Amino acid sequence: MFVNQFLFLAAVLFCIGVYGVIARKNAVLMLMSIELILNSVNINLLTFAMRNGSTDGHTFALYIIAVAAAEVGVGLGLVLLVYRNKKTISVDELSEMRG
Amino acid sequence: MNMLQENNWLLSVGTFLPLLGVVVLLLTPKASDQMVKLVALVTSIATLAVGVYTALKFDFDQAEKLQFVADAKWISVIKSSYLIGVDGISLPLYLLSMIITLLVVIYSLDHVPSPGKPKAFFSLLLVLQTGMAGTFIAQDLILFFVFFELVLLPMFFLIGVWGGEQRQYASIKFFLYTMFGSALMLVAFLALFFKTGAESFSIPYLIENGGSIAKNIQIWIFAGMFVGFAVKVPMFPFHTWLPDAHTQAPTQGSVILAAILLKLGTYGFVRIALPILPDAAREWAPYIGGLAVIGIIYGALGCLAQTDMKRLIAFSSVAHMGFVMLGISTLTSFGVNAAMFGMVAHGLITGMLFFIAGSVKERYHTLEISKLGGMLTAMPRLGWIFGFCAMASLGLPGLAGFWGEFPAILSAYNPAEGLNETVFRVFMVIAALGTVLAAAYLLWMFQRIAFGTAKNSSSHDHSHSDDLHDVTTFEWIAWTPLLLGILVLGILPNLLFSVFDPAVQITLSAFGG
Amino acid sequence: MQTLNIFAAQWVAPTIDYFGLAPELVLAGGLCLVLMLDLFIDERKKWMLTAITSFTLLAAMVPVLMLALSETEVRTMFDGRYVVDNFSLVMKAVFLLAGYVVVLLSSSHIEEGEYWRGEYWFLLLTSLLGMLMMASSRDLVSIFVALEFLSIPAYMLAAWRKRDPKSNEAGVKYFLLGVFASAVMLYGMSLMYGVANSTLLTEIGAKITATGEFSAVHALAVVFVVVGFAFKVSAVPFHTWAPDTYEGAPTPVTAFLSVASKAAGFVALVVLLYTAFPLAQDIWQPFIWVLSALTMTIGNVLALKQHNIVRMIAYSSISQGGFVLMPLAVAGLAGSGTTALRSVVLYMIVYAATNLGVFAIILAVANKTRSGEISSYGGLFSYAPTLGVLMTLFLASLAGIPPLGGWIAKFVAFQSLIQSQSTWGYALAFVGAVNSVVAFGYYGNVMREIWMRPVPDSDTTLISVPGSLKLALVITAGATLVFGILPGVGLQFADLAEIAGAIIR
Amino acid sequence: MNLLAAETEVLAPLASGWFLENAWLIPVIPAIAFALIILIGKRLPMKGSELGVASMLASLVLSAGAAYQWIQRVNSATEEQFVEPVIKSWSWWRSGGFDFGIGQHIDGLSVVVLFVVAFISTLVQIYSLEYLRGDRRYTHFFAALTLFSGGMLAMVLADNMILFLLGWEIMGLCSFMLIGHWWEEDANSRAALKAFFTVRTGDVGLLVGISMLYFAANDWTQENLGLSGFSIRGISAWALSGEPNSTVIMVAAIALFIASIGKSGQFPLHTWLPDAMAGPTPVSSLLHSSTMVVAGVFLVARLYPVFFVGLDILGSGGNLIMFIGAITIVISAALAFVQNDIKRVLAYSTVSQLGYMMLGLGAGAWLPAVFHIFTHAFFKACLFLGAGSISHSASHHSFDMKRDMGGLRKVMPITFTTWIISTLALCGVFPFSGFFSKDEIIDNVGNNGYNTFMIVGLVGAFMTAAYMTRATYLTFFGEPRGASAGHSSHEPHDAHGSHDSHDTHGDHDDHASHDAHASHGPHESGLLITAPLMILSVLALGSGLLNATPFGESWERMKLWVEPRAVEVVDSTYPGGPGESLFINVPSAEEGSSKSVCGTATPEKGVCYAPKLEHAKFKWSKAMLSMVIVFLGMAVSWILSMLLFTKRDARLVGLTQRVKILGVGHRFLVNKYYLDDLYEKVIVRSVAYPISNAAYWFNQNILDGILHSISNLTRKLSGWVYKNIDQRVVDGTVNNSATFTKSVGTAAQPTQSGKVSQYGALLFSAAAVAALVLVIINT
């Protein structure tokens, strides 16, 4: 199997995700970038699982998917809260506390 | 080092009795001021009683041994135990702390400094007493450290709450300085612990095994301890907290600070640093001696520059502790005896001077020397007591100060073998010059304050001219013991030397006497 | 597909040791109860929820104690993925007690403003449950799940005051960064799984040690995983979320985060270091060293500049985290592993007691002053002596002054550093010593306000302290004093804490 | 040092007695009296003064008894036997293996000084009863006076240097209290401070010297004599034993000598002495006749062997002690010329007399020097008390001779007579006591081969005679002036500098007596004042006979009783009992000191306690020479004074009107100002000013200036150190470290920007960097 391609793909995804988190100011977009990272993780896990022939990777991936869903739920909830109070979802507006 | 176990409850009682008083104070929430004062007074008297009983039970024929030793489990996990005991070195200081506290309490009965709050004030005094007494009896490094630190907070608040104008700056400074020192000291203790095989923190054990540590390591460990103790003493570069603390502290604070707290450092040198790390001590001795004489001259110059009476006395402490450290740095039992005596003498004399400064402040509402004057006409008794203490402080033979000062100088003439004689003889001459400067600033101060005609009109409105009452009853009660002590120890120095000497001999056996 | 079937055929249901799981189960039951009741009882009866919550926590303590007393030392289930050993029991006890105190702190606080109390208790319990799981997890997956289990409710708790923009901001920041951090950590975990071909920590440990040297992947994996937990313990430079979140979140939540969730982070970190990469010390020891030094220093110097008490405590707890990390920086060296573990656990215990006490005082004072400014503590001693004295005790303990709890914790930390007798150990000890002095700068500043400053606008109305807070104060102050004067008590627990299957001893 | 029995010879035991054995009581009594006066003095009928007087009387009796028994002891010894001093010692305190003793050491020297001190103190106290009556600090005064005498007595009796130091310092303290007795006036307290401080400066030498001697000598003394290195006896023996390293003992001797310079007001530390006149007159007379200032000389005499060896006394070309002594003689004598304050004249004369003593000691004339201590005490005390009497009863508490005195010989005959006697004694006129001591000194100086110094001594004698005559003339002859003429002279002596008018404070409180003085003019003082004067004058006249060399050996009592015999003592602790001593190898007087056992050579089999000294044979010729010089001085001074004060002579006036040639002289004689100017301008300016004023200027501006500038410098330096070093550097670093920490915080704050994305960036970049670094270092 072409393990390395998958790993490479995962790494690329990871980087894109990180870039997104850092570069984006929009809370939703940041959430999505994080999802990218998580998926890159999943790819990694599955790749290794296939290579090693163990199921742990699959299990792990499943858990991650589930938890990611929960996270997104909470995240969107929070974003909504903010939007309700501030009428914006740009996280840079959220710098009331600093120093 | 063999120890005597009987009556081993005495020390614990004597040390923790004040805390009992504190508890009582805390448990009586709506206590009237009179009640509070009564409790404090009774507690300190009881404490002193226990102390005196201890002294009576003390076997002076074997003063070199640790007595009333109690050894209980404390922190077995880190091999530290509740090991306490007194020998000839610690007993006098242990008693001194109790006496001073009692006198301070008596003095405070009608001198609670603003802003009042007698309950908190006396509680802090009592906690302080526990800390001081504990430091002198602790025979386990960790225990020593705990008591050593226990003293900090009460003094911090005594200065910061009941102090003068810049009290907050002074208190923080005092605290940070000391804490810095003790942090390094703790690290040094730990290093010592592991270098001696991580067996025990007990001082006697370490004295037996400390010498086996490699020299260069010893030097580093000693460095850590040195900073810790030198800050407390205080020695030359680390002294700047002292003038501020003394000047800003309330009278009681200054007295305790001068009489006991400064001794914790020097005591640490004698009890811990020297005997446990002899080789390092030999290496360090010249530098300690050098800093000591610098301190002597430097403190004297500092005094000459002062316009504030209390600050002047504070700087004089730097000079006097310089003599003490000089004695210690000779590593001879003669010099260390002198140092021990100097500690007690300085405690009595400078404590007394601070009492006087407090009373002056109370009467004149200022300590500016230029605004004082003619005290002898206004208040002859106070004036003469002041003169007496000034004379004692400049080391007049026949008064206590002399026996700390002159033998220290004498001992510097030939230090323990292995030390460079020439260097120490130079130190001796400088120190002797220091005595002249001491005479200069003390007499100068005395002349400007006590002599001449009273100039209360110039100081400010005449409202206080009726404050110029002579020594009050409470002051008499609080002061007489100190004055007697100064005189008696001056005439019969052997009272103390005979107690110190055997213990010091043992302690310094590593240096060949 | 084939493979999957084969595995499916082999699969047998694991035997579950319900006794071992009892604390978690109690907690789970309790939170369901709260959730249910909340729907049915009306506003006036909401106090029942508080009662139930605290009762649940105390009830969960019972099995913990029983487990501790039972003769079977180590209970493992799911072939070693979930372990109940002394270490986990001690930490669970800490979590539960801390949780209980947090409940005490919250009960009066959350009355204010019409927010949903039910959810509050529910979230609190859930997060605690996550922590209990974390204490026992010995597998990457379970650790990850436990982590999210305790984090996600925490995100919501931080933002619990819906209509308070500060609270929102706190929540969002905490959430985004938290998720990001755990994502990075996951990436690390995936790599770890790749190189070790197992998610079971002990096996990972064995695999990593098998080949003496490490590839880049190892380093990358270890670092990313550690980063994930460094974030939880808010170690510099992964601390940035902490001050803002602490300041914005409701104060009891801040207390909870700064004590319990930080402790959880340390638990996971310790477990990983001790069982998963014990012999990769060359990788993580320098990393932890730098983290620890940075954390202490930056935390301190930034705390010096704060005017808001909560924010100051936030930075203070950051720097305290640095002190907890100290011994781990040499944990890999021969002989100092046990001491390091003991130090971490002890520090956690003492720190929890003291810091919760500080927050109790903050809440009590805030009842009157309605302000988080440090200056609002001026002259506290003159009109509320008890609070003043207690606050002084707690701050002094944090500063590590004998004979208060903090000193023994710091002492043991220094001890394990110097025991290693390595240059790095001494160097870090020196840094720590200096920092412990600097720290007093801001603790002393508060003391100064309390004792030496005049009362602002000379309003000396007495402070009414609700009973729950009083209880909390008694517990925390008592603990602080006892740990300080009789350090043996605290050290007993810390000493028997041993991680089953840990390779470092 | 065991010795073959054959060579030894046991001698009869020396006599001793109760007074000798218990001499230690002498200082103890005043000490106790002091405590009593302080405690209960105020309540006593005579305000505690009676205690003082009584205690001094007791000490006097005891010391007289001791002196008597000492003489017995000496007589009981054979011709050349070493007379053991009576030594008792108790252990005082012990530390680090050092044993500090306390005890008594009675020998000829201590007996003499004891007697003198006790005697003078007693008289002075009696005198003060009257002189200070009504003073506000009457009790304090007597307390201090008593303690002062006690200190001096203790010092004289001391058997070891520690005790010696104790007495020495106590005296310093009391002098501070006494000189500053009227401290309301700034000048007085400053004088007191100056005195104490100057002396204290010298004391550094004492401390250093004692320490050095102790460590140098201790081993030797312990081994050979079983004495500590502090014991005077041990040190003396050690010094002569040939053991000591020459540099060590020299440095020690110099250090000790510095101390005695300070105490005895020798050049250049003499400036405190005239200022010390600020004290009440009895104090001046006590301090400057027999006690305080003598202490320094006594130190040299006591530890003579140390100086003898250390400074190579009897070596050729003189030594430090002689130089200092000589300079002091001339300088201070010259200063005495330009003083108008009678007490300052006496003060300077004291300094120059001390110079004589030092000169004598330096020149190996030990006995004459000690004898001069003895005689000088009497006449100088008498002079001071006389001056006091004048100011008390006649000159209205002023000491200004020019303004407030003159012509007093009629009104105060007793004071006048005693004054004259003492003056003659001071000038050393035969047969007054001064002659026998001072002349002996000069004589011996010459005899030991120091001719230059002998000439200096003679010049000093001349000047002494001159200034004393001037003082006498101004005081007792001519017309009464100012207060003595009965003018109420408040204005003048408020106008003077503080020095002239201290004693006005004497009775601030009873203005009655003050006005009484103002109302009726000068009169003779009361008995309490005159009695001491008379007693002292008698002694001033007679005391010289105790060692009247002119009348042959039999009169040289002092030499017999006081001078320790330079023999080699073999075993001083002989089983036969205390005081018994064996001796061998007596150096004969004929062979020069160089070959003497106890001189420069080292004793073979035993120890020496005193160096071998020669004594000059008395020659009338030399005596005559000095007499002539003295009378010359008197005459010159007298004539000048006459010229000045006989201006109103009627016969002269008539003469000049008839004889034109004398017109010039007439104008000289008539115009008193002219003559005044003549005297002042021509004579004084040509004789006195060039020397004296130069000296005085030097004194005030250079020496005093140096002292003051040193003190100012120290003060400035200290100020600078305090401001710049202490506050700025040392303290500054601390405060700066705090600010630095804060600034670090400020620097770090921007990272806490509050922006999530930046937080994220920081988070990830940190992780990435860490990973990178660790990857690199680990693979």
For D196-237, give the secondary structure using H, E and C: HHHHHHHHHHHHHHHHHHHHHHHHHHHHHHCCCCCEHHHHHH
| Six-digit token string for C273 | 């270091």
- Nearest C-alpha of chain A: how many angstroms from C242? 11
Q: Residue B449 corresponds to which amino acid?
A: I
Residue of A nearest to C303 (CA): A99
Report the residue from D754, D760, D761 with minimal CB separation from A95.
D754
Find, among B431, B239, B298, the residue nearest to D722 by Cα: B298
Residue C454 is classified by DSSP as P
- Does C179 lie at the interface with A, CB-CB under 8 angstroms? yes
Question: Structure tokens of D313?
Answer: 């006394």
CB contact under 8 A, C190 and A44: yes
| Whole-number pLDDT of residue A1 | 55
The one-letter amino acid at C375: S
Q: C220 CB near a chain A CB, below 8 Å?
A: no
- Reported as a single tens digit per residue, the pLDDT across B13-24 is 999 999 999 999
CB contact under 8 A, B184 and C433: yes
Cβ distance C286 to D745 less than 8 Å, yes or no, reads no
Quickly count: other Cβ atoms within 10 Å of residue C33's Cβ: 18
- Of the listed ranges B28-37, B238-247, D358-367, the one predicted with least confidence: B28-37
- The proportion of chain B whose per-residue pLDDT surpasses 70, expressed as a percent, equals 96
Q: Please check whether residue A87 touches D, CB under 8 A.
A: no
Find the domain containing D359 and state its range. 327-487+521-559+618-645
Task: Please count the helices (runs of H) and the strands (runs of E) in chain C.
Answer: 21, 2
What's chain A's length in residues?
A: 99
pLDDT at D708 over 90: no
Chains that touch D (3 or more CB pairs under 8 A): A, B, C
The rounded distance, in Å, linking the Cα atoms of C239 and B444 is 60
Would you state the structure tokens that stand for residue C332, as one six-digit string? 């890999």
Q: pLDDT at residue D595 above 80?
A: no
| pLDDT score for C209 | 61
Task: Kindly report, residue by residue over D659-699, the tens digit of the pLDDT.
Answer: 555 455 444 433 433 434 444 455 445 544 555 455 556 55
Q: Which of C408, C429, C437 is closest, CB to CB, to B187?
A: C429
Contact residues, chain B, for D39 at CB < 8 Å: none
pLDDT at residue D406 is higher than 80: no
Q: Are B97 and B3 in contact (CB under 8 A)?
A: no
The yes-or-no verdict on residue B3 having pLDDT over 70 is no
CA B112 to chain centre: 22
Full DSSP string of D611-646? -----PPP-HHHHHHHHHHHHHHHHHHHHHHHHHH-
The pLDDT of residue D688 is: 47
- What pLDDT does residue C203 have? 87
What's residue C505's pLDDT?
A: 55
CB D212 within 8 A of CB D139: no
- Calculate the alpha carbon distances from D493 to D396, D522, D544 in Å: 10, 17, 39
Contacts of C160 (CB under 8 A, 6+ apart): C115, C119, C120, C123, C167, C171, C249, C250, C253
Q: What is the pLDDT of residue D501?
A: 37
Q: pLDDT category, D658, cuts 50, 70, 90?
A: low
Residue of C nearest to D757 (CA): C177
Higher pLDDT, D662 or B131: B131
Cross-chain Cβ contact C186/A52 below 8 Å = no
Cβ contacts of A82 on chain C, cutoff 8 Å: 168-169, 172
Which pLDDT belongs to residue D664? Answer: 54
User: Rounded to whole angstroms, how far apart are CA atoms C159 and C154?
Assistant: 9
Residue B289 lies in a domain: yes
Q: Amino acid letter at C393?
A: L
Touching chains C and B? (3+ Cβ pairs < 8 A)? yes
Does the CB of C180 have a partner CB in chain D at under 8 Å? yes
C-alpha to C-alpha distance for D525 and D531, rounded to whole angstroms = 10
How distant, in Å, are the alpha carbons of B378, C338, C340, C422, D518 from that of C505?
A: 76, 5, 10, 17, 104
Q: What CA–CA distance (Å, rounded) separates C342 from C327?
A: 9
Q: How many domains does chain B have?
A: 1
CA angle B17, B20, B21 (to 5 degrees): 95
* pLDDT tens-digit map of D320-356: 888 888 888 887 787 777 677 788 888 888 888 899 8
- Tell me how far apart the alpha carbons of residues B275 and B192 are, in angstroms, rounded to a whole number: 13
Contacts of D201 (CB under 8 A, 6+ apart): B436, D262, D269
Q: Mean pLDDT, to the nearest integer, of C428-432?
A: 91
- Cβ atoms of B172 and B166 within 8 Å: the answer is no
Query: CB contact, 8 Å: A44 with chain C?
Result: yes
C148 closest CA partner among A73, A18, A22, A25: A73
Task: Tell me D339's DSSP state.
Answer: -
Chain D contact set for B512 (CB, 8 A)? none
In this structure, what are the phi and psi dihedrals at residue D254, rounded to the nearest 5 degrees?
A: -60, -45
Q: Which two tokens stand for residue B225?
A: 């301890």
Query: Which pTM was predicted?
Result: 0.85
Query: For residue D164, what is the nearest residue in chain B, using CA coordinates?
Result: B397
pLDDT by residue (tens digit) across C319-363? 999 999 999 998 888 778 888 898 999 999 999 999 999 999 999
D752 vs A contacts (CB less than 8 Å): 98-99
* B357 vs D591: which has the higher pLDDT: B357
Distance set, CA C255 to CA C262, C359, C362 (Å): 10, 6, 10
For residue D50, the model assigns a pLDDT of 81
In the numeric block, which tokens belong to residue D16? 């001793």
Distance CA D77, CA D57 (A): 30
Q: Which fold has domain A3-89?
A: Helix Hairpins (1.10.287)
Give residue C257's pLDDT band: very low, low, confident or very high (50, 70, 90): very high
CA distance D731 to chain C (A): 17
Let me know if residue B407 belongs to a domain. Answer: yes
Helix axis angle, B333-364 relative to B380-393, nearest 10°? Answer: 160
Q: Which residue among A30, A44, A64 sits closest to C191, beta carbon to beta carbon? A: A44
Question: What's the whole-number average pLDDT of chain A?
Answer: 88
Nearest to C304 among D742, D771, D775 (CB): D742
Whether residue C151 is predicted with pLDDT greater than 90 in this model: the reply is yes
Distance between C241 CA and the closest CA of chain A, angstroms: 10
Classify residue B285: in a domain, yes or no. Answer: yes
Instruction: Kindly identify which residue of chain B lies nearest to residue C395, measuring between CA atoms.
Output: B153
The three-class DSSP label of residue D100 is strand
Given an 8 Å threshold on Cβ–Cβ distance, is A78 in contact with C159? yes
Top residue of B15, B119, B153, B196 to mutate, by most chain C CBs within 10 Å, is: B153
What six digits make up the tokens of B275? 């005997």
Q: Is the pLDDT score of C219 beyond 90?
A: no
Report how far residue D650's alpha carbon sits from residue D666's, in angstroms, rounded to the nearest whole number: 11
State the complex-level ipTM.
0.81
Check: CB of residue C489 under 8 Å from CB of residue C483.
yes
Integer Cα distance of D486 and D503 in angstroms? 18
Q: Is the pLDDT of residue D647 over 60?
A: no
Could you tell me which residues come within 8 angstroms of residue C413 by beta carbon, excluding any fewer than 6 positions away? C323, C324, C326, C327, C343, C347, C432
Is D756's CB within 8 Å of C172's CB? yes
pLDDT, one tens digit per residue, over A45-88 is 999 998 888 888 898 999 999 999 999 999 999 999 888 888 88
CB D342 within 8 A of CB D300: no
Task: Report the gap between the CA of B268 and the closest CA in chain D (Å).
Answer: 20
Q: How many domains does chain D have?
A: 1
Helix (H) or strand (E) holding C468: helix C467-485
Q: Residue C37 corresponds to which tokens in the numbers above?
A: 């009741």
Q: Which residue of A has its CA nearest to D757?
A: A22
Which region among B321-325, B496-500, C136-140 has the lowest average model confidence (pLDDT)?
B496-500
pLDDT in tens, D494-552: 333 333 334 444 434 333 333 344 445 667 777 778 888 888 888 888 888 887 777 77
Question: Cβ of A95 and D760 within 8 Å?
Answer: no
CA distance A33 to chain D (A): 12
Element (H, E) at B238: none
Q: How far apart are CA C159 and CA A84, in angstroms?
A: 13
pLDDT in the model for residue D597: 53
Bridge partners of D607, per DSSP, are D569
The contact set of B with C (CB < 8 A) is 73-78, 115, 117, 120, 142, 145-147, 149-150, 152-153, 156-157, 160-161, 167-168, 171-172, 175-176, 179-180, 183-184, 186-187, 190-191, 193-194, 198
Across the interface, which of B240, B305, B500 has its CB nearest the CB of D719? B305
Residue with tokens 């036969």: D576
Q: Which residue has the higher pLDDT, C228 or D577?
A: C228
CA distance A85 to chain C (A): 7
Residue C132 predicted with pLDDT over 90:
yes
Write out the H or E segment, with its range, that includes residue C76: strand C75-77
User: What is the rounded distance in angstroms from the CA atom of residue D17 to the CA atom of residue D578?
Assistant: 12
CB neighbour class for B462 (10 Å; exposed up to 12, middle 13-18, buried from 19): exposed
D227-268 per-position pLDDT tens digit: 888 888 888 888 887 777 888 888 889 999 989 988 888 877
Average pLDDT value for residue range D206-218: 87
Which of D180, D212, D722 is the closest to B305 by Cβ? D722
Contact D307, D236 (CB under 8 A): no
**Look-up of token digits 């880190």:** B78
**Residue B373 sits in which domain range?**
280-513
At residue D591, does pLDDT exceed 80?
no
Measure in Å the smallest separation between the Cα of A26 and chain D Cα atoms.
10
Q: What is the pLDDT of residues D413-446, one digit of tens each?
A: 888 888 888 888 888 887 788 888 888 888 888 8
The pair of structure tokens assigned to B493 is 């120095």
Distance CA A64, CA D484 (A): 121
How many helices (H) does chain B have, and how many strands (E)? 23, 2
Using only C-alpha atoms, chain B has a radius of gyration, in whole angstroms, of 22
pLDDT bracket for residue C461 (50, 70, 90): confident
Cβ(D342)–Cβ(D387) below 8 Å = yes
- With cut-offs at 50, 70 and 90, classify the pLDDT of residue C264: very high
The phi, psi pair for D588, rounded to 5°, reads -80, 150
CB D198 within 8 A of CB D140: no
How far, in Å, CA of D539 to CA of C123, rounded?
Answer: 112
